[in-house]
Amino acid sequence: LQVGMGSALETLCGQAVGAGQVDMLGVYIQRSWIICGATALALAPTYVFTAPILRALHQPTAISAVAGRYTRLVVPQLFAYAANFPLQKFFQAQSKVWAMTFISGAGLALHIALNYLFVTRLGHGLFGAAMIGNVTWWIIIVAQFAYLVSGCFPEAWKGFSVLAFNNLTAFVKLSLASAVMLCLELWYYSAVLILVGLLKNAQLQVDVMSVCINYQLWTLMVAIGFNAAVSVRVSNELGANRPKAAKFSMIIAVLTSAAIGAVFLAVFLIWRTELPRFFSDNDRVVGGAAKLGYLLAASIFLNSIQPVLSGVAIGAGWQTLVAFINIVCYYLFGIPLGVLFGFKLKLGALGIWVGMSIGTLLQTAILIIICFRAKWENQAMLAEERIKKWGGSSETLPAATTTATNNIIDQ
């Protein structure tokens, strides 16, 4: 939710930078902070009451209890996300990523060192891990904010402004569209673990699936990098009224990410029986994860392409359209098929993943068609309209996020 609520900045900041209206970025990020902060406040009760929520979803009692203890401890991280994601989008829109990379890398190194000391050596366990996460997240936020106000962005950041409170309703609409689009994607994978938790021998099945999803998330980080890059590039080019360059950027990003995905696919096919041992020394867990190796490799390849297409959608402002596509592909096809294969046909975790992979494949195919058949000249015109209205004194959100499909795709 926080990533999604902050993703409105990818569209607005990216297109504003392309059009040369950098002075609006400071106002945009402050609006996003307000909205993401309110979102964090609204989400805090779900962290406090995680255990009963999971029990209501029929998850194992032991797992629910541990998860509940952990989430109560990491509530401060929820508010760190509210500050972090708008900062990330602000820097990314201006292609200022190296300083952010250094800050994140230093934060990660500190996080690993503190975890080793307090969790592994001193034995503080779950409490230690949660507290260290809180500390390192907020160190990263302080460092990023210091970079923001350091004078490196004289045009984009001119201090806090009351303009941030103007027309928040329209900003919320675009933020919500972005959040719904991304949440429908990310929650789809959470649904896998929830469904697996309903199988017989749930503890083993959840362990096996957790190993596979961890590897999928590791490789997904590469695709998410391309997601951010292509979102910035497409939004910049559309804002600068260069539709052909926007389409070319999309094609290059998709092909490059697909090539990297093919390498990952080969690696996981070759070492599918050995890689699970990095996460577990339980032979049953390792064996179960190895059996899912072929499907994991295929999913990793597919998920090397899909996030890039989502990045194109964010850069162009198609969030609402993609949200509807996600509902149909993921929740009307993928999950029902996963339930059918996993429970009715008794294929277990394998069947659940097969069904949900079909949903991902369908969604990816539709997004490919939309991206390659889009009227990019029209998208550049919509970006110009959006910039004029959001940059003017009487801002109203243009209909870009609710544009009908026939205004995007060639008939």
SS3 state of residue 374 = strand
First vs last Cα of the chain: how many Å apart?
34
* Cβ-proximal residues to 41 (8 Å cutoff; 6+ apart), any chain: none
Q: For residues 304 and 216, give the distance between their C-alpha atoms in angstroms, rounded to a whole number.
A: 10
Task: Residue 408: name the closest of 243, 257, 253, 255 by CA.
Answer: 243
**Can you give the pLDDT at residue 44?**
95
**Can you give the pLDDT at residue 409?**
57
Q: What is the pLDDT along the chain (411 residues), one digit of tens a residue?
A: 888 888 888 888 888 888 888 888 999 999 999 999 999 999 999 999 999 999 998 888 888 999 999 999 999 999 999 999 999 989 988 888 899 999 999 999 999 999 999 998 898 888 999 999 999 999 999 999 999 999 899 999 998 988 888 878 878 888 888 888 888 888 887 888 788 888 887 778 888 888 888 888 888 888 888 888 899 899 989 989 999 999 999 999 999 999 999 999 999 889 888 888 888 888 888 888 888 888 889 988 998 998 899 899 988 889 889 989 999 999 999 999 999 998 999 888 889 989 989 999 999 999 999 999 999 999 988 888 877 766 544 444 444 444 434 456 553
**Can you give the pLDDT at residue 185?**
82
User: What are the structural domain ranges in the chain?
Assistant: 1-166, 178-393
- Tokens linked to 99: 């300083």
- Tokens linked to 105: 């890398």
H-helix segments, 149-277: 168-196, 202-239, 243-270
Q: Read off the pTM.
A: 0.78
| Burial readout 181-197 (b: 16 or more C-beta within 10 A, e: otherwise) | bbbbbeebbebbbbbbb
Count of beta carbons in the 10 Å neighbourhood of residue 166: 15
Contact predicate 269/293, CB 8 Å:
yes
> CB-hemisphere CA count at 13 Å for 92?
29
Contact predicate 350/337, CB 8 Å:
no
Q: For residues 115 and 110, give the distance between their C-alpha atoms in angstroms, rounded to a whole number.
A: 8
Q: For residues 26 and 14, give the distance between their C-alpha atoms in angstroms, rounded to a whole number.
A: 13
